Amino acid sequence: MSNALLDIDPIDLQFPFELKKQISCSLYLANKTDDYVAFKVKTTNPKKYCVRPNTGVVLPRSSSEVLVTMQAQKEAPADMQCKDKFLLQCVVASPGVTTKDVTPEMFSKEAGHRVEETKLRVVYVDPPRPPSPVREGSEEGSSPRASVSDNGASDFTAAPRFSVDRLEPQENSTEARALITRLTEEKNSAIQLNNRLQQELEKLKRESKRSQSGGGIPFMYVLLVGLIGLILGYILKRT
């Protein structure tokens, strides 16, 4: 969905509802004009949701992401239906304006500003099933401070901001480390045996050269060479 200034995606904020867990949903704003566009996000339930950023500026022909987070809930709603709504207000701003320059007066229709407004619904969906269980603690922050709404949007209040904790990865399996250690030891033993056999072979070659003047190859030399070949073949199959 879009208005005269911004393309908005998605139009419905979908939250995979889970009890005692903070849930986030991203809102993407794309500026399709050559002007600086200031925006402000309001909600009908400011104690339940946090928004980062709740006000900002989208540069010409660029986009911004707004992260909307629902606080951890103790009870599931009836029939998984939610009546909460969000209101996105946007207005053309002066060139070079920054987020710090955004004020409530910029979104005042009484002051003669042309304010574009888009309402967003909240929809609960089934949470995805993870492949393995992950420990998650219950996080319930204190109720954020709400500001008074204006410009006829009497049901909406500016949404607050928040921060999110990240989960730590699990440790590697002990059995896997033990298997790697055993295979490494077997490989090292095979390499040492191969080196000893190579030394014996070089020794037999030197003795064979000294005995070549008598003619023929000693029977023991042929036998040892064949034995070494069999042992090397066995080692290669093991490794």
CATH number at 89 reads 2.60.40.10
Residue 156 has a pLDDT of 75
Q: Using N-to-C axis directions, what is the helix angle for 219-238 and 174-211, rounded to 10°? A: 160
Query: What whole-number distance in Å separates Cα of residue 30 and Cα of residue 53?
Result: 15
> In terms of domains, do 33 and 107 share one?
yes
Flag whether 151 is in a domain. no
Residues (pLDDT < 70) of the chain are 130, 132-155, 159-173, 211-223, 225, 233-239
Residue 168 has a pLDDT of 42
Flag whether 95 is in a domain. yes
- pLDDT single digits (tens) 54-80: 999 999 999 999 999 999 999 888 888
Retrieve residue 238's tokens.
């093991």
Query: What whole-number distance in Å separates Cα of residue 227 and Cα of residue 225?
Result: 5
Q: What is the DSSP letter of 2?
A: B
Residue 148 has a pLDDT of 38
Flag whether 139 is in a domain. no
Q: Please give the residue range of the domain that contains residue 50.
A: 6-125
> In terms of domains, do 105 and 199 share one?
no
Flag whether 141 is in a domain. no
What domain count does the chain have? 2
Residue 182 has a pLDDT of 81
> In terms of domains, do 35 and 117 share one?
yes
Residue with tokens 């004009």: 33
Query: What whole-number distance in Å separates Cα of residue 228 and Cα of residue 195?
Result: 12
Antiparallel, parallel or unpaired: β 23-31 and 6-9:
antiparallel
> In terms of domains, do 15 and 117 share one?
yes
Question: Residue type for 113, please?
Answer: H
